[in-house]
Amino acid sequence: MSDSNGNGILVSVAGAHREFSRGSERIRVLTGVDLEVPAGEFLSLMGPSGSGKSTLLNLIGGLDRPNSGTVEVAGDRIDRLSDRKLAGWRARHVGFIFQFYNLLPVLNAARNVELPLLLTPLSRAQRKQQVDTALSIVGLTDRARHYPKTLSGGEQQRAGIARAIATDPTLLLCDEPTGDLDRKAGDEILDLLEALCREHGKTVIMVTHDPHASARADRVLHLLDGRLAREPAA
């Protein structure tokens, strides 16, 4: 894993609007969001359910596009990329970590971690090296051959994180990564995310409802009425 930690702006979102259709109704989720995230920062996004936290995360990760506004990540205007180029960009730059792990039950931990590497030109030996490195970082080397059903919730989430970092991405996007875990397992995952940021130079953006989790971040922003605010409304 790379360990460089630059201090330039890695993520820049400017005037981002996102609306969705529900029948004849237009639902405004994001209204003119502006956000800059320096490289190497651990940022937490908070807000009530339906406030657009996951939508903003999806814009930054290239899983969705704004109706208007710009999204630039790692020097690329991803809102202007074609679907094909965007898929390649995501494979190079973004690791996604989800609340419910999304591990394939028919594959062991190592094979689950290898999945994103199958989209790269790496050889089988190179893929194995990347998988072994990722599993070592998350402390799962001795569980590499175990299937998801034999892993605890915390171990499954660590396998999910190993899968996210296997390609050595620029950015880790975490959607409620501790939301399905007890406090002890959740704290272990937060320790790991902090280590990936501090020791491996990863930029981490985490969506969470949990103030205990957000307290680990360098900066906490709140989504309110489709806009970002540094502090929640009184």
pLDDT tens digits in sequence order for the chain, 234 residues long = 544 444 699 999 999 999 988 888 888 899 999 999 999 999 999 988 878 899 999 999 999 999 999 999 999 999 999 999 998 899 889 999 988 888 999 999 999 999 999 888 889 999 999 999 999 999 999 999 999 999 999 999 999 999 999 999 999 999 999 988 889 999 999 999 999 999 999 999 999 989 999 999 999 999 988 888 765 444
Torsion, CA 91, CA 40, CA 37, CA 29, rounded to 10: 50
With contact defined as beta carbons under 8 Å apart, do 115 and 167 qualify?
A: no
Neighbours of 20 (CB within 10 A): 12
- What's the pLDDT score for residue 45? 95
Judged by DSSP in three states, 12 sits in strand
Q: Dig out the tokens for 179 from the structure.
A: 């939301």
- What's the pLDDT score for residue 13? 96
- What's the pLDDT score for residue 100? 83
Q: Nearest Cα to 1, choosing from 150, 123, 169?
A: 169
Please report, as a single letter, which amino acid is at residue 13.
V
Q: Dig out the tokens for 170 from the structure.
A: 């620029």
- What's the pLDDT score for residue 231? 54
- What domains sit in the chain, N to C, each tagged with a CATH number? 9-229 (3.40.50.300)
Query: What pTM was estimated for this model as a whole?
Result: 0.90
Residues 78, 36, 100, 140, CA torsion sign: positive
